[in-house]
Amino acid sequence: MDFIHEPYQAGDTIAAIATPPGEGGVAIIRISGNAAIEVASRCFSRPVEGLPTHTVQYGKIKNREGECVDHVLLLPMHAPRSYTGEHTVEIHCHGGSLIARRVLQTVLEAGARAARPGEFTFKAFMNGKLDLAQAEAVQELIGAKNEKALHAAGSQLQGALTRKISTFQHGLNDIAAILEAWVDFPEEGLEFATMEEIQVTLREAIEAMQKLAATFHNGKILRDGVSLCLIGCPNVGKSSLMNALLGKDRAIVSAIAGTTRDILEDHLKLNGLNFRLLDTAGIRDSDEIVEAEGIRRSRQAIQEADLILFVLDSSRGLQADDHLLMQQIPHEKTIGVWNKIDIQKPEMTPLPFSTVCVSAQERQGLDTLHETIDQVIWKNGMPDQQEVVITSMRHLQALTQAILFAQNVHDGLTDNLSPEFLCVDMRQCLRELGKIIGTNVTEDILSSIFSKFCIGK
């Protein structure tokens, strides 16, 4: 967010339109900051200072000349009982881009500053209303494209990920405190846990963090959906299959090989997930410039896709070109689709990945294809409703680094490494975990030390 690099002024009064642009029944202008109540009073038809918090008030928004801009409902919310933790006022005016902008302009002229992107949530984070993971979940919630993504974002907003990370921090803080004590008081012979007990605790923490990191595969699917690429040699029925999956005539179907020259893209929802469906040019050797470019793009799409449907013509069996193409695709993310099963067909060759038989033309076998897609996507099973999953690459990177540093500490204990070096890695481990939820790791370690040991003794 751009505003993070600006000096943060606590209580700075900001304003913005909080509803999407366009026409609608209601638009909301949000004001937040120390002077939010005063700013609202300058443009509302009566004083806002004395109005009870969290009540709805009817009145008019007036500009500097005293002209009525709009009839509105006004909601004052006194600190700290607001989303940002600061005084907040919401103005509900008539929907429509023009009227909403006029009301916002009146508020800005009354003394507020235009908010930067995400600044209300940033205020909530800075004022302790949300931790960093929860603040990120707000955007995930807004951008959720399906029910599963909505549930995952809601769970993170309610603190499920924070509690998980805090559990890791708590156990590792105890180990860090012991290591720090060994460094600060080596002559005391302090021993609050055996070496074996510390290593067992570390192994359990590492395994738990690895288990959480492994949920990113599912989390990314929930958040971003799946890129599904149809590939195959010319005239095997890729475009017919695309049309069958979409339930509409999206791609031109022709008996002429090489009809599809470029990548066709569309979107569909399948089994509760969002799919970006790509129909590619048939892959073969070609000297024709346009077709060759389409084939190059097809190969690029293969590498970038989350899932591949390798379409084959069951009426002619596995040909040499099919076999050559099969050797070039990643099998772990491929489903073989024997198409045209409504035509008299030879015996179909077994394939080294999940395989489905369909007739795109007659809409046969599509339910089985849907089920197979679901099975391949959820490699380790669909996540449980109660399971905490990470959906952010930032979280995965921080967690991966934390695991690496924790493993260094575990290995260092095994190799009898000096506690000074172990402390460095442990601090780094906790710092990486702190990045996820925005905590000050160093203060957490110090607090743990002071609560566990009598330093003054």
Query: Which region among 50-59, 89-98, 258-267, 270-279 has the lowest average model confidence (pLDDT)?
Result: 258-267
Q: Is residue 382 part of a domain?
A: no
Q: What is the pLDDT of residues 376-421, one digit of tens each?
A: 888 766 767 778 889 888 889 999 999 999 999 999 988 878 778 8
Mapping DSSP to helix (H, G, I), strand (E, B) and coil, where does residue 164 land?
helix
Flag whether pLDDT at 44 surpasses 70.
yes
Q: What is the pLDDT of residues 286-322, one digit of tens each?
A: 445 444 555 556 667 677 788 889 999 888 888 888 8
Q: What is the pLDDT of residues 76-92, one digit of tens each?
A: 999 999 999 999 999 99
The pLDDT value recorded for residue 187 is 56
- Binning the chain into helix, strand and coil, the percentages to the nearest 5 are 45, 15, 35
Instruction: Please identify, among 76, 109, 129, the residue that sits at the C-terminal boundary of a domain.
Output: 129
Q: Are both 431 and 359 inside the same structural domain?
A: no
H/E segment holding residue 124? helix 119-126
Q: Is residue 448 part of a domain?
A: no
Q: Are both 322 and 233 inside the same structural domain?
A: yes
- Residues placed in the known binding site for Mg(2+): 239, 260
Categorize the per-residue pLDDT at 451 as very low, low, confident or very high, splitting at 50, 70 and 90: very low
Flag whether pLDDT at 46 surpasses 70.
yes
Mean pLDDT, rounded, for 69-75:
96
Query: Which region among 26-30, 172-176, 268-272, 365-369 has the lowest average model confidence (pLDDT)?
Result: 268-272
Angle between helices 160-184 and 441-452 (to 10 degrees): 60
Q: What is the CATH number of the domain that holds 197?
A: 1.20.120.430
Q: Is residue 447 part of a domain?
A: no
- Residues placed in the known binding site for K(+): 235, 254, 256, 259
Mean pLDDT, rounded, for 16-34:
90
Q: Are both 296 and 338 inside the same structural domain?
A: yes
Using CB atoms within 10 A of its CB, is residue 65 exposed (0-12), middle (13-18) or buried (19+)?
exposed
Q: Are both 33 and 104 inside the same structural domain?
A: yes
Categorize the per-residue pLDDT at 255 as very low, low, confident or very high, splitting at 50, 70 and 90: very low
Flag whether pLDDT at 65 surpasses 70.
yes
Q: Is residue 455 part of a domain?
A: no
Q: Are both 305 and 412 inside the same structural domain?
A: no
Query: Which region among 19-23, 125-129, 260-264 has the lowest average model confidence (pLDDT)?
Result: 260-264
Flag whether pLDDT at 261 surpasses 90.
no
Q: Are both 94 and 153 inside the same structural domain?
A: no
- Ordered DSSP codes for 25-40: SEEEEEEESTTHHHHH
The pLDDT value recorded for residue 336 is 92
Quote the mean pLDDT of the chain: 81
d(C-alpha 104, C-alpha 63), whole Å = 11
Q: Is residue 148 part of a domain?
A: yes
- Residues placed in the known binding site for GTP: 235-240, 254-260, 279-282
Q: Are both 196 and 249 inside the same structural domain?
A: no
Q: What is the CATH number of the domain that holds 64?
A: 3.30.1360.120
H/E segment holding residue 24? none
Categorize the per-residue pLDDT at 447 as very low, low, confident or very high, splitting at 50, 70 and 90: very low
Q: What is the pLDDT of residues 315-369, one digit of tens each?
A: 888 888 888 888 888 888 889 999 988 886 667 778 888 999 999 888 889 999 9
Q: Are both 239 and 328 inside the same structural domain?
A: yes
Mean pLDDT, rounded, for 93-120:
91
Q: Is residue 449 part of a domain?
A: no
- Residues placed in the known binding site for (6S)-5-formyl-5,6,7,8-tetrahydrofolate: 30, 90, 129, 457
Q: What is the CATH number of the domain that holds 307?
A: 3.40.50.300
Q: How many domains does the chain have?
A: 3
Mapping DSSP to helix (H, G, I), strand (E, B) and coil, where does residue 394 land?
helix
Q: Are both 316 and 183 inside the same structural domain?
A: no
Mean pLDDT, rounded, for 232-255:
74
Nearest CA-CA partner of 14 in 118, 122, 114, 117: 114
Q: Are both 53 and 107 inside the same structural domain?
A: yes
Q: Are both 124 and 33 inside the same structural domain?
A: yes
Flag whether pLDDT at 107 surpasses 60.
yes
d(C-alpha 133, C-alpha 125), whole Å = 10
Categorize the per-residue pLDDT at 441 as very low, low, confident or very high, splitting at 50, 70 and 90: very low
Q: Are both 10 and 66 inside the same structural domain?
A: yes
More confident residue, 248 or 364: 364
The pLDDT value recorded for residue 61 is 95
Categorize the per-residue pLDDT at 253 as very low, low, confident or very high, splitting at 50, 70 and 90: very low
d(C-alpha 403, C-alpha 390), whole Å = 15
Instruction: Please identify, among 69, 100, 129, the residue that sits at the C-terminal boundary of a domain.
Output: 129
Q: What is the pLDDT of residues 134-151, one digit of tens each?
A: 888 887 887 787 788 888
- Residues placed in the known binding site: 30, 90, 129, 235-240, 254-260, 279-282, 457
- Partners of 17 in the beta sheet? 29
Q: Is residue 454 part of a domain?
A: no
Nearest CA-CA partner of 174 in 454, 457, 455, 444: 444
Q: Is residue 442 part of a domain?
A: no
Mean pLDDT, rounded, for 172-178:
87
Categorize the per-residue pLDDT at 110 as very low, low, confident or very high, splitting at 50, 70 and 90: very high
d(C-alpha 181, C-alpha 234), whole Å = 70
Mean pLDDT, rounded, for 169-175:
89
Nearest CA-CA partner of 401 in 421, 428, 419, 424: 428
Amino acid at 154: G
Instruction: Please identify, among 67, 97, 129, the residue that sits at the C-terminal boundary of a domain.
Output: 129
Domain that holds residue 155: 139-220+392-437
